[in-house]
Amino acid sequence: MIEDRFYVVTGGPGSGKSSLIDALARAGYKRSLEAGRAIIQEQVSIGGRALPWDDRMLFAEMMLEREMRSYREAQDEKGTVFFDRGVPDVCGYLRLIEQTVPSDVSKAAEEFRYNLLVFVAPPWKEIFCQDRERKQDFDEAARTCDALEETYRSYGYDLVPLPLASIEDRLRFVIERIGRVLY
């Protein structure tokens, strides 16, 4: 089944997810790009309003569209694919901002399935930093992680916390945990 080879790395902002995904790509695995950061960069550059500090619901709609597109594109890839967040992250974001998850978003999270093992980068104060796209403070990053964990569990996923360790150690941990070499 396709979803058996699709792995999600999720967690709050600034927890090292994207750095791990980058390391997995350097090791030869296929990967997706984080939708939220790309949308923020694009919207800022054009003066758009689909931003988490402007129109949160439009931002969520754009994230959902991009996550579903990433999933569909990955179906054409061979072998293991790592996703820098997944469709359920949109539901988690909506929960975080105390919005009702629309039925179409929930349906997408039910239909676009990933491997049951979901890697979670826990809040890590020592590496957390803000930047142009990441305006959340550490407390909000921790609340984001909590909302995402609750969301993924509600969709039947098993969470695997990543160790608070170097990128190389995290890379080894993930590869050992999935028990797959490149194929």
- Counting residues of the chain whose pLDDT is more than 70, the rounded percentage is 92
Q: Is 11 left (phi over 0), alpha (psi -120 to 50) or beta?
A: left
Residue 143 CA to chain centroid, in angstroms?
15
- pLDDT tens-place string over residues 84-100: 999 999 999 999 999 99
Q: What per-residue string of b and e applies to 66-95 under the rule 16 or more CB within 10 Å gives b?
A: bbbebbeebeeeeebbbbbbbbbbbbbbbb
Residue ranges making up the domain that contains 137:
2-178
CATH number at residue 104: 3.40.50.300
Residues 6+ positions from 163 with CB-CB distance below 8 Å: 169, 170, 173
Q: Decide if 183 is inside a domain.
A: no
pLDDT higher at 35 or 151: 151
Instruction: Specify whether the CB–CB gap between 63 and 35 falls below 8 A.
Output: yes
- Bridge partners of 161? 120
Q: Decide if 124 is inside a domain.
A: yes
Q: For the chain, what is the domain count? A: 1
Q: What is the pTM of this model?
A: 0.91
| DSSP states of 67-117 | HHHHHHHHHTS-S-EEEES-HHHHHHHHHHTT----HHHHHHHHHS---SE
pLDDT at 182: 47
Rounded Cα–Cα distance for residues 64 and 86 (Å): 9
- pLDDT tens-place string over residues 95-115: 999 999 999 999 999 999 999
